[in-house]
Structure 1
Amino acid sequence: MKRIVFATATFVFALTAGFSAAAEATVERVTKTEWKAVFAKVESRNNIPARSRLGGTLEAISVVEGSQVTQGQHIGTTVDEKLELELRAIDAQLMSLNSELTNAQAELARGLNLLERGVTTEQNVDGLRTKVEVIQGRIGATEAQKDVLLQRTDEGRILAPISGTVISVPVTAGSVVLPGEMIATIGGGGFFLRLAVPERHADFLNEGDEIQIGGADGAETGTLAKLYPQIENGRVIADVEVANLSADFIGRRVLVRLPVGQTETMAVPVDAVEFRMGLDFVRVASAGGEASERVVMIGELFNVAGTQMVEVLSGLRVGETLVTGHE
């Protein structure tokens, strides 16, 4: 039979040569918190995808799973070869339009000179002036088209949307990607534990409850920060805030204990119990002042107002007086 649930403390054994002076304790009923052990997963507060705004070929990707990135960091590049061809065509149009503009401006200058000498008419000069303005307008429109192409080319730079840890990179350099396709997933904004609790315990959970967390470094505590109202597959989803939570492995499972109710039980101080020969003994004070040993069956350890108590399942009655020390 399992003697103590979740117990990491040891009993005070009466197996040494010297003992402290005798003291008394009374068997009483106390309120004990019932705990439910479940597994929680380490999750990041924000999971944001870094997407390619440009469709084309992924030319380079500079991060892998586990990389640390900062917001706005350049993590990859997508290229569209058609944009380079379009830019060349635009540059050729600009060269042609600039040549036409130079020629039109020269014709306008000659027309103005002829107008001053009375050789040509004002109407011809206005036509030449309009031609210059039309070419200048075409040059402006073409330069605007070039700016659009340059902006589209710049959108091939893939930037980290938030600071944090790269969780997944589902593509590799050389992959063909579509506009808006996810290149990497970045987790940031802090980390917490997410757990799923059977719905029968939902009414006993309250935001702000202290949660016990077990780990390789010993027991820690956290705070039940959020209870989600929607029940999924018979389970309530909850988030637990933990100070200095290790985020080396996102998705790592951690054992936690939740308070799911309270019961009254009979308990005595832990130092009133003596363990010998596979049995648990207590010394019960009689009316005449003498103490006699009695075998008891004990349960789990728990704290009451800072005092470590042990549950007594049988062998004692409420109100009896125990001798907790020995001469």
Structure 2
Amino acid sequence: MRRMIIAAVLGISLPFTTPAATEELTTVTMTTITEWKAVFGKVEARNNVPARSRIGGTLTEITVSEGTDVTEGQQIGTIYDAKLALQLDSIVAQVDALQSQLENAQTELTRGEDLLKRGVTTVQRLDALRTQVDVLTSQIESIEAEKRVIEQRAAEGAVLAPISGRVLTVPVTTGSVLMPGEVVSMIGGGGFYLRLAVPERHAAFLREGADIQIGEDGSTQTGKLAKVYPQIQNGRVIADVEMSELGSGFVDARVLVRLPVGETSALLVPADLVVTRMGLDFVTVKEGEHGTLRAIVPGEHHVIDGKSMIEVLSGLSEGENVTLTKDVAYTPAKDHGNDGH
């Protein structure tokens, strides 16, 4: 046993004769593999639009809270301005007064027309009465238009959602006094995506449309690198990643993302062909009719076309054939050499 351990450490191969049964051989070749960089992305809404107050006044009602889903044009709050109600009462009183004057003027005009027929009054007097009726009618129309303006301003006390989406923040409460243009709530909509901040040394390897791995091992999803922004901020490149089923339960949540940042060549062998004994890793190299147990130095695990592969740092050379290790007795043999790469 001790001789076997020393032989493996020194790179000495241990041969054995394989059974005559047909074996599947795997030829070791240089394979181009993608280098991945693990970063954290942040879930963000594509559009963050504030729902603002259109008039000043007191917020008398707020119907949403953080996390509420809203549709475009939905009323989410009500602002009341007492001055508008007083102005509206004043306008109504003015309309009533002018309406009374108009009725009196129309009566005078009708009487003047009768007097003119009998020759008691003059045409000039009748024209003056007719002009007075027209002036009062125009004044009433002007006041009515002003009334509609005030009613519209009062109607703008309804705070509406500018887009469909989810309410992110509500910085005010019922009873708050607001000025025109103040934010009542912030709404995120237009879909959700991942925003990344990647160290600038990897900027040259980022390509729009590249596949991105999202999530931890075992629950990995695939997304697309949708956009790479040209401006570098604080030594980092900003990029956006899109995916079909991105959860929007928590905006600004951090998600693990793996980005392709380069390519390299390596010798890969299937993971099921590597055995570990006494802390050392071995593969069986087929040489003619015999299989030789060869100690290797393994590297990282990779998944190529859905198959688990192990990178070999030393112990194998390109073009050698490896096969499944058989459970047989091993005997020391002469040194076959260790052609590391």
On whether the aligned pair clears a TM of 0.5, the verdict is: yes
Contact map agreement 1:40 1:193 (CA 8 A) in 2: yes
Deviation at 1:109, TM superposition (A): 1.3
CA displacement at 1:23 relative to structure 2: 2.6
CA separation of 1:275 and 1:216: change in aligned 2, threshold 3 A? closer
Query: Greater shift after overlay, 275-284 or 84-93?
Result: 275-284
CA distance in 2: counterparts of 1:69 and 1:294, whole angstroms: 65
1:11-90 mapped onto 2 (5 Å cutoff):
22-90=23-91
Correspondence 1:124 to 2:122: no
Measured after TM superposition, the shift of residue 158 of structure 1 is 0.7
Structure 1 unaligned spans of 5+: 1-19
1:115 positional shift = 1.1
Instruction: Give the Å deviation of 1:145.
Output: 0.5
Paired residues of 1:21 and 1:326 also in contact (CA < 8 A): no
What does residue 150 of structure 2 align with? Answer: 149
CA contact (8 A) 1:23 1:325 kept: no
The equivalent of 2:302 in structure 1 is 302
Q: Distance in 2 between matches of 1:21 and 1:66?
A: 63
Shift of 1:240: 0.8
Partner residue, 1:320: 320
2:320 is aligned with what amino acid? Answer: E
| Separation in 2, partners of 1:215, 1:50 | 36
The aligned amino acid for 2:39 is V
The alpha-carbon deviation at position 206 of structure 1 amounts to 0.6
Q: Deviations over 1:98-138 (max 9, x none)?
A: 11111111111111111111111111111111111111111
Q: Tell me the distance in 2 between the aligned counterparts of 1:157 and 1:235.
A: 43
Deviation larger for 121-130 or 251-260: 121-130
Q: Take 1:224 and 1:279, find their aligned partners in 2: how far apart are those partners?
A: 40
- Measure, in 2, the Cα distance between the counterparts of 1:64 and 1:217: 35
TM-score by length of 2: 0.86
Following superposition of structure 1 onto structure 2, how do residues 150-299 of structure 1 map, counting pairs within 5 Å?
150-215=151-216, 218-287=219-288, 289-299=289-299
Q: 1:258 to 1:50 in 2, by over 3 A?
A: same
- CA deviation after TM superposition for structure 1 residue 48, in Å: 1.1
- Structure-1 separation of matches of 2:326 and 2:244: 43
Structure ID, larger Rg: 2
Shift of 1:69: 0.6
Q: CA deviation at 1:194?
A: 0.8
Aligned-pair identity (%) = 56
For residues 244 and 138 of structure 2, the distance between their equivalents in structure 1, rounded to whole angstroms, comes to 63
Flag the 1:190–1:46 CA change in 2: closer, same or farther, 3 A: same
Structure 1 residue 246 displacement after superposition: 0.8
CA–CA distance in structure 2, aligned partners of residues 165 and 276 of structure 1 = 56
Does the aligned pair in 1 maintain the 2:275–2:325 contact within 8 Å? no
Native 8 Å contact 1:60 1:173 kept in 2: yes
Structure 1 residues 86 and 216: CA distance shift in structure 2, 3 A: farther
SS in 2 for 1:180: coil
Instruction: Give me the whole-angstrom Cα distance separating, in 1, the residues matched to 2:258 and 2:295.
Output: 31
1:217-243 per-position Cα deviation (integer Å, ceiling 9, x unaligned)? 711111111111111111111111111
State the alpha-carbon separation in 2 of the partners of residues 215 and 70 from structure 1: 34
1:217–1:148 Cα change, 3 Å: farther
Contact 1:25 1:324 in 2 (8 A): no
Q: Number of residue pairs matched?
A: 307
Task: List alignment gaps of at least 5 residues for structure 2.
Answer: 1-20, 328-341
Contact 1:21–1:325 under 8 Å retained in 2: no
CA distance in 2, matches of 1:285, 1:119: 135
Q: CA deviation at 1:308?
A: 3.0
CA pair 215-190 structure 1, distance change in 2 beyond 3 A? farther
C-alpha separation between the residues in 2 aligned to 1:217 and 1:147?
63
Q: TM-score normalized by structure 1? A: 0.90
Deviations 1:161-213 (A, max 9, x none): 11111011111111111111111111111111111111111111111111011
